[in-house]
Amino acid sequence: MNQAIGVIDSGVGGLTVAHELMRQLPKEKLIYLGDTARCPYGPRSKEEVQQFTWEMVAFLLKKDIKMLVIACNTATAFTLNDLQEKLDIPVIGVIQPGARAAIKVTNNTHIGVIGTEGTIKSEAYKEALKKINEEIRVYPLACPLLVPMVEKGIIAGAEAQAVVAASLAPLEEFKQMDTLILGCTHYPLLKDTIQHAIGEQVTIISSSEETARETSTILDVHHLLNNEDQLPIHQFYTTGELVMFNKIAKSIFKDHKSEMLKIEKATLPMNQGA
C-alpha cells in the first residue's frame, strides 16, 4: 500500500510527530499540512477548530491518503471522535498515546500536563489518564505564550527561557509531580528549555514516539504497510509564511536529505466537512 499517511497540525509543532513517524516507518510516505496561517488553535472556539480541521482533512483526502494522524492536541481533543466516525480510513490523535506513555514512566501517579487553552479546557488528558488509572493525580496548566513563540522560530536562548519559566511557574507548588506531559506538539521543540525550568527530577513525556508506534500497529493490523524498497519523497504544506516554516522544518529534519522533502504553500478548500 504505497499511499501516503496524512498528518495535520495547527502549525509547525506536528513536525515533531512527522519526524518520529519518518524514523520508525522509513518506507512510509508522509503528506503533512500545517495551518500556520491560523495558528494557534488553542484560544479558538471548539467550532472554529472543528471547521479548520475538516478543511485540512478535505485537502489531504484529495491526496488519497490511507491513514490520518492528527498531530495537534487541540484538534485531537475537539475532532478525533467525529473524524473516526465519518472517515473510512484509520484516524488517530496524540492524546491517548501521550497519556499511555506518561503512565508507563510515572513512579507516584502525580502527572502534570501543559498545553494550549483549548486542550486544557477540554480535559481530554485528564479523562484519558483517569480512564487508564483512576488514582492518577493530574495537574493541568495552559501555556498560551509558547505556541506563538515557537511559530516565530524562538526555541532557545534568553527569551525562550524567560517565557517558559514564567509559563511554568504555577507548577512549582506541585512538589510531588514526577512526570510532565507536553500536551502540545509544538512543545518538544522547547524540551531542553522546559526541562531546565521544571527540574531534572521530572520526566518529560512527548507523545511523538508513542503516536508513531500506534501508527505502525494500526497500519499492520489493516494490512496497509508499504513494503516497497524505494525511499519515499515526503510532502509538506503550510497555509502560512513559507520561509519560517521551511527554516523550522529543515532544523527538525536535518538528518534527512533535502531532496526527500518537498515543502510548498497550500490553499485550503474552505468550509468542508463538519
- Other CB atoms within a 10 A radius of the CB of residue 131 amount to 11
In this structure, are 185 and 107 located in the same domain?
yes
Give residue-wise pLDDT tens across range 95-133: 999 999 999 999 999 999 999 999 999 999 999 999 999
- Residue 258 clears pLDDT 80, i.e. is over it: no
pLDDT for the residue numbered 270: 60
Lowest mean pLDDT across 31-35, 45-49, 85-89, 266-270: 266-270
Count up the domains in the chain and report the number: 2
Whichever domain contains 247, its CATH number is 3.40.50.1860
Residue 273 to residue 163: CA distance in whole angstroms: 37
Within-domain flag for 227: yes
pLDDT for the residue numbered 257: 76
In this structure, are 83 and 115 located in the same domain?
no
In this structure, are 143 and 173 located in the same domain?
yes
Q: What is the mean pLDDT of the chain?
A: 94
Percentage of the chain beyond pLDDT 90 is 89
pLDDT for the residue numbered 268: 86
The pair phi, psi for residue 15, each rounded to 5°, is: -65, -25
Note if 39 is an active site residue: no
Q: Report the relative pairing of strands 30-34 and 5-9 from DSSP bridges.
A: parallel
Note if 143 is an active site residue: no
Binding residues for substrate: 9-10, 41-42, 73-74, 185-186
Within-domain flag for 116: yes
Please compute the mean of the pLDDT values over residues 39-45 and round it to a whole number. 95
Within-domain flag for 270: no
In this structure, are 103 and 191 located in the same domain?
yes
Within-domain flag for 274: no
Within-domain flag for 201: yes
Last residue of a domain, one of 207, 225, 246: 207
In this structure, are 82 and 101 located in the same domain?
no
In this structure, are 106 and 181 located in the same domain?
yes
Within-domain flag for 196: yes
pLDDT for the residue numbered 231: 86
Within-domain flag for 273: no
In this structure, are 87 and 214 located in the same domain?
yes
In this structure, are 62 and 189 located in the same domain?
no
Q: Name the residue among 27, 81, 34, 4 with its Cα closest to residue 248.
A: 34
Predicted confidence band at 273 (pLDDT cuts at 50, 70, 90)? very low
Percentage of the chain beyond pLDDT 70 is 97
254: exposed, middle or buried (Cβ count in 10 Å: 0-12, 13-18, 19+): exposed
Q: What is the pTM of this model?
A: 0.92
Q: Which residues contact 17 (CB under 8 A, 6 or more apart)?
A: 7, 9, 69, 71, 94, 185, 207, 208, 211, 212
In this structure, are 41 and 175 located in the same domain?
no
Lowest mean pLDDT across 16-20, 44-48, 270-274: 270-274
Residue 71 to residue 62: CA distance in whole angstroms: 19
Last residue of a domain, one of 187, 207, 227: 207
Give residue-wise pLDDT tens across range 148-181: 999 999 999 999 999 999 999 999 999 899 999 9
- Residue 272 clears pLDDT 60, i.e. is over it: no
pLDDT for the residue numbered 260: 85
Within-domain flag for 272: no
pLDDT for the residue numbered 158: 96
Show the domain range for 87. Answer: 4-93+209-265
Exactly one of 4, 83, 184, 249 is catalytic; name it.
184
End-to-end CA distance of the chain: 28
In this structure, are 12 and 140 located in the same domain?
no
In this structure, are 215 and 203 located in the same domain?
no
Last residue of a domain, one of 207, 232, 254: 207
Q: Who wins on pLDDT, 258 or 93?
A: 93
Give residue-wise pLDDT tens across range 129-138: 999 999 999 9
H or E segment to which residue 95 belongs: helix 95-105
- Residue 271 clears pLDDT 60, i.e. is over it: no
In this structure, are 126 and 200 located in the same domain?
yes
Give residue-wise pLDDT tens across range 200-257: 999 999 999 899 999 999 999 999 999 888 889 999 999 999 999 999 998 999 887 7
Q: Name the residue among 188, 109, 174, 106 with its Cα closest to residue 140.
A: 174
Exactly one of 72, 124, 212, 268 is catalytic; name it.
72
Beta bridge partners of 155: none
